[in-house]
Amino acid sequence: MNIVFTFRPPRKLQEQLRERFPEEEFLYYKSIDEADKLHTAEVIVTFGGDLTAEHISACKELKWIMAASAGIENMPVEAIAERNILVTNARGIHKIPMAEFTMGYMLNHVKRFPELQELQSEGVWNKRLPLEELAGKQLLVIGTGAIGSEIARLALAFRMDTIGVNRSGSPNEQFDEVYTVDQLLDVLPLADFVVAVLPSTEETKFLLEKEHFQAMKKTAAFINIGRGDLVEESVLIEALDNEEIARAYLDVFIDEPLPADHPFWSQERLTVTPHISSITSKYVPRAMDIFSFNLDVYKRGEEGYKNKVDIDRGY
């Protein structure tokens, strides 16, 4: 069968796939636009964001889409559901890098590393910079899935208190307490750090509003590593301008790449990173591990896929 990649994995990973599946035809392209044999694909492996309904209808043989990403919000859901095409993703491989990234910025925040760097560049020895500790601070994680739980696990190691928020309020061992989304306004005032790690769905779109930021501590830091459309940009800018929170760390945005003239770049008390929290040198190897596992399952015609996506729920 033809397996079309709309990105090029490192040569070493290509060799591993060829050795493990010598009878399959792997076709690697730099992008979907260059994939001249896309229409022959029984399987498409993509980072997501490039597939349209036209692609789906042109690919008569297509049975399986492997998204080497977590969210599938840009996929042509109806066209996929209509043909009953299998969709799998790479969820689970994001938790380690994203949790490290989040803990990194939390430490950066309490330890004032950017200010220490500034002092160094000025040649100033100042022991009076008031550093804080994560120990004893309250972490609120909105979204208690694999990534949120990994963040909470590390936060507990740092002797933080952890509150989780999810749809149902169902408990989770990494969190001291879990509340429902409806209770968000009640628990936001407790948090020193509010970390959002939600997928983009109809329910989460613009979930955080003006009142939510007003409910947070003025000393709180807000970290969004989930999806940009959790909050209207104007709401966030207002919260920062009005000093309703101390700082925001945003890795995700409504428009990505963030346009060059966007006010976020120079917004005070805002750290912008280029949707990079999950991306490390281990990302593609781990995604290919999941793909290889599932390709075995697919070839044997069995069930038991890792990370099968419920296309209607959106994750």
| CB of 172 vs its own copies, minimal distance in Å | 17
104 is an interface residue for its own copies by CB under 8 A: yes
127 is an interface residue for its own copies by CB under 8 A: yes
Q: Which of 82, 132, 182, 296 binds its own copies (CB under 8 A)?
A: 132
Active site residue 227: yes
Query: Which of 126, 168 has the CB closer to its own copies?
Result: 126
Q: Which of 3, 17, 66, 101 binds its own copies (CB under 8 A)?
A: 101
Q: Which of 40, 180, 201, 273 binds its own copies (CB under 8 A)?
A: 273
74 is an interface residue for its own copies by CB under 8 A: no
Active site residue 275: yes
84 is an interface residue for its own copies by CB under 8 A: no
Active site residue 39: no
DSSP per position, the chain: -EEEESS---HHHHHHHHHH-TTSEEEE-SSGGG-TTGGG-SEEEE-SS---HHHHHH-TT--EEEESSS--TTS-HHHHHHTT-EEEE-TTTTHHHHHHHHHHHHHHHHHTHHHHHHHHHHT---TTS----STT-EEEEE--SHHHHHHHHHHHHTT-EEEEEESS----TT-SEEEEGGGHHHHGGG-SEEEE-----TTTTT-B-HHHHHHS-TT-EEEE-S-GGGB-HHHHHHHHHTTSSSEEEES--SSSSPPTT-GGGG-TTEEE--S-TT-STTHHHHHHHHHHHHHHHHHTT-S--TTB--TTTT-
135 is an interface residue for its own copies by CB under 8 A: yes
Beta-carbon count within 10 A of 311 CB = 18
Q: Which of 83, 167, 247, 275 is catalytic?
A: 275
113 is an interface residue for its own copies by CB under 8 A: yes
By CB under 8 A, how many residues form the interface with its own copies? 50
Stretch that binds its own copies, among 1-9, 12-20, 34-42, 149-157 (CB under 8 A): 149-157
Query: Which of 85, 272 has the CB closer to its own copies?
Result: 272
| CB of 204 vs its own copies, minimal distance in Å | 23
Residue numbers annotated as active site: 227, 256, 275
Binding site for its own copies (CB under 8 A): 96-97, 100-101, 103-105, 107-108, 110-111, 113-114, 116-117, 119-120, 123, 125-127, 129-136, 153-154, 157-159, 256-258, 260, 265-266, 271-276, 279-282
